[in-house]
């Protein structure tokens, strides 16, 4: 199979997932790891960037026919359709609910992107970035290949996309902006679970926390991140002794239990609220916003 020119620069794994729609992600990665996928006659890693004109050999794989594929439930599809907060010819922005994965895999049949594709068959939707499953808020999906390339380039560029989160942090944060410049390293625990920690061998990571108001001995904060590492806000918040409320991986179980009982906080209080960027080399500015989920507003109101 020849790589089309408009797929120049696309990762091999993403190219294969696009060509083998309906095939489990785990199988696609297994084919690559075992050397059954060849690029220009040689083995290649999943992250290899393809070039227009490359020849990709894909072994015979039975792809489920459209009618055979399980579909997301009608209720879930309707909920995600209602969660679209912005759309134009190039992209759409989803106010992703907490508990919804950005994409399927690891036992999750349908993430946000699979469900949007079921809602919009034939549109060629592609995730620009990801949000943790337990984080709510803005998730950007490209409708055009050109928009995907430009947005991903902005994601890699320092200051290319301004990201603002809202979070409830445990304890009283000091006044002013607290900047956390601490490298983050991803490790794996038994069972393959990712666990991130501050470590000198990690990647540079920078977060800026600012308390907006204090309630019930805790701090409702704005967080701006200069880098986009896995679990960055959650680990940086833990590092400074003010974990994200409701975080069952990096937070305090006793505090989480108390907040669940006192204010009904049954999820992590972390929300991607605002994204600002410009396409067309700065000529087309975007300022996208996603309102706080009702359950977070209600929990905040109960926090006297």
Q: Considering the candidates 132, 248, 252, 301, report the single residue annotated as catalytic.
A: 132
Contact 234, 272 (CB under 8 A): no
Q: Integer distance in angstroms from the first to the last C-alpha of the chain? A: 62
CA neighbor of 250 nearest in space, from 134, 138, 102: 134
Question: Residue 5 gets which letter from DSSP?
Answer: G
CA neighbor of 236 nearest in space, from 205, 282, 279, 203: 205
User: Is 181 among the residues known to form the active site?
Assistant: no
The pairing of beta strand 136-142 with beta strand 270-279: parallel
List strand residue ranges (DSSP E) for the chain, in order.
38-39, 42-43, 56-57, 84-87, 91-96, 126-127, 136-142, 162-169, 177-181, 184-188, 194-198, 206-215, 218-225, 270-279, 284-289
How far is it, in rounded angstroms, from Cα 66 to Cα 34? 28
Assign 3-class secondary structure to 140-190. Answer: EEECCHHHHHHHHHHHHCCCCCEEEEEEEECCCCCCCEEEEECCEEEEECC
The first and second tokens of residue 296, run together, are: 């977070």
Residues marked as catalytic? 132
């Amino acid at each position: 199979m020849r790589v089309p020119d408009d797929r120049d620069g696309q990762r091999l794994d993403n190219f294969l997932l696009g060509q083998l729609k309906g095939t489990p992600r785990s199988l696609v990665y297994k084919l690559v790891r075992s050397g059954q996928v060849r690029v220009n006659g040689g083995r290649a890693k999943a992250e290899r960037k393809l070039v227009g004109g490359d020849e990709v050999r894909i072994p015979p794989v039975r792809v489920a026919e459209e009618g055979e594929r399980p579909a997301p439930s009608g209720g879930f599809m309707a909920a995600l359709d209602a969660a679209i907060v912005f759309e134009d010819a190039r992209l759409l922005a989803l106010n992703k609910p907490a508990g919804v994965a950005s994409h399927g895999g690891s036992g999750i049949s349908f993430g946000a992107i699979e469900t949007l594709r079921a809602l919009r068959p034939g549109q060629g939707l592609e995730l620009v970035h990801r949000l943790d499953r337990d984080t709510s808020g803005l998730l950007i999906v490209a409708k055009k290949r050109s928009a995907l390339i430009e947005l991903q380039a902005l994601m890699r560029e320092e200051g290319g996309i301004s990201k603002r989160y809202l979070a409830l942090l445990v304890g009283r944060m000091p006044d002013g902006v607290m900047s956390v410049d601490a490298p983050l390293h991803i490790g794996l625990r038994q069972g393959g679970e990712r666990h991130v920690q501050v470590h000198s061998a990690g990647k540079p990571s920078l977060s800026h926390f600012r308390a907006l108001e204090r309630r019930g001995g805790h701090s409702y904060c704005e967080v701006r991140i200069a880098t986009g590492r896995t679990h960055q806000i959650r680990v940086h918040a833990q590092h400074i002794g003010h974990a994200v409320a409701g975080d069952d991986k990096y937070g305090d179980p006793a505090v989480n239990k108390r907040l669940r009982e006192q204010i009904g906080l049954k999820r992590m209080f972390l929300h991607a609220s605002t994204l600002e960027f410009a396409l067309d080399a700065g000529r087309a500015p975007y300022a996208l916003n996603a309102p706080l989920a009702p359950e977070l507003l209600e929990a905040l109101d109960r926090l006297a």
